[in-house]
Structure 1
Amino acid sequence: MAAKTPASPPSPVAEFERSLDELEQLVQKMEQGEQSLDESLAAYERGVSLYRQCQSALEQAEQRVRLLADPTQPEAAQEFSGDVD
């Protein structure tokens, strides 16, 4: 039996894709209109959370692109090194 190595955290791209897929599934379920009010509210709350995660990942990607496009811009490097909520 092979020893299991600890799972590495998912890459930001993989995490973005997972969140986006889950968000799309939630939207499809809500559009069908077959959920109770409680289920719809819970799905909406989860959807808002997923939307924010996706938005944050996109902002981080944009900062990385800016840094790569013009590494002489110190403000781009400072923005990238900071955490994005």
Structure 2
Amino acid sequence: MPATSPQNPNQVAEFEQSLDELEQLVSRMEESEMGLDDSLKSFERGISLYRSCQSALEQAELRVRQLSDPGKPESAEPFDPDTP
């Protein structure tokens, strides 16, 4: 049952570290004039960090859904904050 086990503290730390690195990367890109090669490398790293963070958030959302209603299937509708 790995999908229902508590989230590993290392995963939380990795998420926070990735998010922090992504924020710093965006800040550096906004504040400096990078060359094309550096900009592309930074963009690629940013995409990788974004995907890592997004995956961690999706796993956390799934865990919250499982805890909220353990009887519902895992393929429940995704959360939409704009839905009343």
Same fold (TM over 0.5): yes
TM-score, scaled to structure 2: 0.74
- Percent identity between the two aligned chains: 64
Letter in 1 for 2:47: V
Which protein is bigger by CA-based radius of gyration? 1
Higher normalized contact order (CA 8 Å, seq sep 6+, divided by chain length): 2
Look up the match of 2:16: 17
TM-score, scaled to structure 1: 0.73
Letter in 2 for 1:64: R
Look up the match of 1:66: 65
Structure 1 segment 35-74 matched on structure 2, within 5 A: 35-73=34-72
Q: 1:33 Cα deviation (Å)? A: 2.8
**1 CA distance for matches of 2:32 and 2:56?**
30
Count of aligned pairs between the two proteins = 69
Q: Secondary structure at the match of 1:71?
A: coil
Q: 1:10 Cα deviation (Å)? A: 6.2
Over the aligned positions, Cα root-mean-square deviation in angstroms equals: 1.9
For structure 2, which runs of at least 5 residues remain unmatched after alignment? 1-7, 77-84
Task: Quickly say closer, same or farther: Cα 1:66–1:10, change in 2 above 3 A.
Answer: closer
